Amino acid sequence: MSYSGRTVLVAGAGRSGIAASRFLLTNGARVILTDTQGMDALQSHLAPLLETAQRPGKLILELGGHREESFRSCDLVVVSPGIPLALPYFEISRKAGIPVIAEIELACRHLKGRILGITGSNGKTTTTALLAALLTGAGLKGRSAGNIGTPLIGFAFDTSPEDIYAVELSSFQLEGIHQFRPYVGAILNLTPDHLDRYSDFRDYIAAKRRIFMNQEGTDYAVLNADDAETAAMASEVHAQPVLFSRRKPVDRGAFVRNGRVVYRDGNGEKDLFAADVSPLRGGHNLENILAACAMAILAGTPPESLEGSVRGFKGVEHRIEFVCERNGVQFFNDSKATNVDAAVKSLEAFPGNILLIAGGRDKAGDFAVLKNLVRERVKHLVLIGEATGKIQKALAGAADAIEASSMEEAVDLCSRLARPGDVVLLAPACASFDMFQDYEHRGRVFKEAVRKLKE
């Protein structure tokens, strides 16, 4: 596609917006980059982009708010992840006949390699990172992209047919696709999330299902056979369904039998490795491993190469990440547990003696789901953020609950209350935006507070 002489409005000056703007400028577009934040907040992000703007295209910055006229007078709108496509500004563009697309849609139109897309309520980042490790471990040109950190459009500058992109996809990104078609698409699981943005659970599921909407019979749809919502899609997708399960054999896909991971397809069964070879904690991570192995095999990874990569994969930062042990107490950072179901999986990874730090910005989650697990495994519950009152009410009587005004205070309280053999676990069950820039910032603040205790 040629962008020379065209005006493209890029909404959002985060990593994806900056990467999209760089690509468009390099290809001759006039780019309007708009964001509600001002120059002071964005200056460090914008520095590399301002250098790019000295080349073919022209950059116009509209910061500190959006201008309706810009949405009405451009040729294309590219939306960064996390920006709701229901905003009235985008409706202005649509009414003017201007296409509104996600950054991943822009990327897929220019990439030459194959895309392996991963979505779901939980486990996306771990599965994406592991899948990339499985590909590269087999000598393939695996790349991790999307919400995992590197915007997909960033690879469009240097792309080849041999590239295989493991892409983490959110429901927000999938709302803005038109032609996006992954060679392998996966939905890991579906539990209520982002209900502050979607009208109900079915609306949220519909956004996730869009990952399959452009697939054809030569593509693959990887689905969790242990999750009722995803398993039901196997008979509905146009692609070839491939399942994974840690509870039962499947006709085609990856499963656990007698403590071994097995892959079955039209050529028979392949015994891959023992189900407990991975250092990752929790049954949910076994599901992530099964999904990643199935996708890797479909992308051409030799099955015999998988075990070494699974053994060597230590996990991803902020996902049940071991921080340190202090006076016999272990500290774990699961800041990525941004919804109730993720917090459930985090608690299930430990047998008990947990001091749980939870709270943040509520996403209309049902915290009562946590009550039995908290009663069984949590000694002390330390709450922070806007959702403190709602969580206290939902979990009343399940565990001793204490409020903290900051992450540092929460860590200090846990350190004072913990005894040898206990686990201090950050698993918020909430978004982070009430107190932090994002879940990564929250996790870093937690780890820094723990390290200061250790010192």
> Looking at the predicted structure, is the pLDDT value of residue 278 above 90?
yes
Looking at residues 57-74, what average pLDDT do you find? 92
Query: Is the C-alpha dihedral spanning 146, 150, 153, 155 positive or negative?
Result: negative
**pTM, 2 dp:** 0.83
CA-to-CA separations, 190 to 16, 296, 340, in angstroms, rounded: 25, 22, 12
Catalytic residue selected from 27, 122, 147, 285: 147
Looking at residues 94-111, what average pLDDT do you find? 96
Backbone region of residue 97 per phi and psi (left: phi > 0; alpha: psi in -120 to 50; beta: other values): left
What is the per-residue DSSP string for 84-140?
-TTSHHHHHHHHTT--EEEHHHHHHTT--SEEEEEESSS-HHHHHHHHHHHHHHTT-
> Looking at the predicted structure, is the pLDDT value of residue 309 above 70?
yes
Looking at residues 85-112, what average pLDDT do you find? 95
Catalytic residue selected from 194, 284, 318, 380: 194
Q: Residues 6 or more apart from 425 whose CB is under 8 A from it?
A: 332, 334, 346, 347, 350, 354, 355, 356, 357
Is 441 noted as a catalytic residue in this protein?
no
Q: Which domains does the chain have, with CATH numbers?
A: 7-98 (3.40.50.720), 105-312 (3.40.1190.10), 321-454 (3.90.190.20)
Is 258 noted as a catalytic residue in this protein?
no
Chain Cα centroid distance, residue 41: 24
Catalytic residue selected from 27, 66, 122, 124: 124
Block residue for tokens 């939980």: 122
> Looking at the predicted structure, is the pLDDT value of residue 455 above 80?
no
CA-to-CA separations, 149 to 29, 79, 98, 194, 252, in angstroms, rounded: 25, 16, 29, 20, 31
Is 393 noted as a catalytic residue in this protein?
no
User: Within 10 A of 197 (CB to CB), how many other CB atoms are there?
Assistant: 16
> Looking at the predicted structure, is the pLDDT value of residue 194 above 80?
no
d(CA 417, CA 407): 15
SS3 160: coil
Which tens digit of pLDDT belongs to each residue from 257-271? 999 999 999 999 999
pLDDT for 193: 66
